[in-house]
Structure 1
Amino acid sequence: MTQAYRSSQERQAYHHGHLRESLVKEGLEMARRGGAEAVVLREATRRVGVSPNAAYRHFASRDDLLDEVGLAAADQIGLTMREAVAEAHGEGDEAQVVAELVAACRAYLDFALAEPGLFDVAYRISDAGLDMLKADRSKAPNYPDSVINDVLTGPDVKLSERVDVRGLVILLWSLLHGFVSLSTSGPLRGDKTAERAENVLNVIRASLRGAIARA
């Protein structure tokens, strides 16, 4: 690629305001193939076809890009969960709530096991990136915990006063994340993963039924 053509591409990217989004998109592709360690700012600029200096106007460092890629990956996980919730069907109000939560949990597990690279980068966000998310949830409106929280706080859901919603969200999220970590990079990898995942969902299903039944 000639320098003149590269400069033309660079100007066009700025004119349309797509350079930042393009770099994040390339970062997601790199993460999909190799996890967080594969996300390199200079390589992302090479793939987009701009100079490193152009990228530094949007991302001061690799960590900044990694945060944006991580948030985008986490949002993809949550979006998959939200779509599963929308398609879930149960019988009666209580069964519907349980069905929606189990569907969200199943979608989380399925995504993590199918896309380990994206799952990895979604949880490699720095403190600065997390602070950015807390200040502006629009950075990842479908962050996984928000999907679970939205189902639990729906207008037709009545939990016992003894049930702390945030605590229940963290409990479910921790159970899912812990199982995925053990199954992808821990001692349970390759060991009846699908069967074990179904067992995890059965435990979640039984626990949720009990909590909602006491409402």
Structure 2
Amino acid sequence: MTHRKRSTYRHGDLQRALVAAGTELAREGGPSAVVLREVTRRTGVTPNAAYRHFADKRALLHAVSMAAQAELARSIEQELSRIESTGDVGDVAKARLRAVGAGYLRYAQTQPGLFRTAFAEHADLRDAAAPDSAGDSGLTPFQLLSAALDGLVEAGVLPAERRLGAEFLAWSSVHGLAMLVIDGPLQGLDEEQRTFAARRLLEMVEKGL
């Protein structure tokens, strides 16, 4: 039975199936749940077949983290798609920056397992522009944030001299709140309190830049 199921995978399909199975495990339990034995069980293949695509568990987890980042990008894109043009380029640019933060925080709260996994096995920023972590727009979460900040400069809202490194300030602030809410002392906040904290934080980031 296992052999027949394995034989149905065409070239390249097995790797995608393994990542998809790992992503569902991460959705359920975070990065620690991405266990090769369970991934192969769900895909109906042997561990040896999986090792042809991933050298070890860390390689598989890295691929799953890229997929989780792509879902994060799509969460941000959903928020961006809700923005209506007001005719004021400055207001739209500000709304786009807030949407990036709102999509980020919503993903953390609704998909905590994947959110934790999205940053597993990332030693530096080399993966920030990896195609595997991009959403439907072709942009990664980091690139979506960068684009929103560039938009502020283009709209005359953010002085060009303050643009350098703005990604790190905005990202650190929003990520910090996300982690405090899902894994820290702010876990006890109710929905109204989380919404209030998120709105005030995004306002603070916008004004602080």
Aligned to 2:92: 96
Q: How much does 1:10 deviate?
A: 1.7
Normalized against structure 2, the TM-score is what? 0.86
Are 1:89 and 1:99, in contact at CA under 8 Å, matched by a contact in 2?
no
Is the partner of 1:153 in helix, strand or coil?
A: helix
Are 1:145 and 1:170, in contact at CA under 8 Å, matched by a contact in 2?
no
Q: Distance in 1 between matches of 2:38 and 2:194?
A: 38
Q: Distance in 2 between matches of 1:161 and 1:150?
A: 14
Aligned to 2:144: 147
Which stretch of the first structure deviates more once superposed, 146-155 or 45-54?
Answer: 146-155
Aligned residues with identical type, % of pairs? 32
Q: Distance in 2 between matches of 1:139 and 1:205?
A: 31
Which entry has the higher C-alpha Rg, 1 or 2?
Answer: 1
Aligned residue among 179, 182, 185 for 2:180:
182
Q: Distance in 2 between matches of 1:86 and 1:113?
A: 20
Show the 5 A alignment for 1:190-209. Answer: 190-192=188-190, 194-205=192-203, 207-208=205-206
Aligned to 2:166: 168
Q: How much does 1:157 deviate?
A: 3.1
Show the 5 A alignment for 1:130-145. Answer: 131=126, 133=127, 137-141=130-134, 142-145=139-142
Q: How much does 1:102 deviate?
A: 0.9
- Cα pair distance change 1:126/1:169, threshold 3 Å: closer
Aligned residue among 7, 13, 26 for 2:3:
7
Q: How much does 1:164 deviate?
A: 2.2
What one-letter code is carried by the residue in structure 1 that aligns with 2:143? S
- Cα pair distance change 1:130/1:89, threshold 3 Å: same
Is the partner of 1:32 in helix, strand or coil?
A: helix
Count of residues in Structure 1 that have an aligned counterpart in Structure 2: 202
Q: What is the root-mean-square deviation of aligned Cα atoms in Å?
A: 2.2
Q: Distance in 1 between matches of 2:195 and 2:47?
A: 43
Q: How much does 1:17 deviate?
A: 2.4
What one-letter code is carried by the residue in structure 2 that aligns with 1:190? G
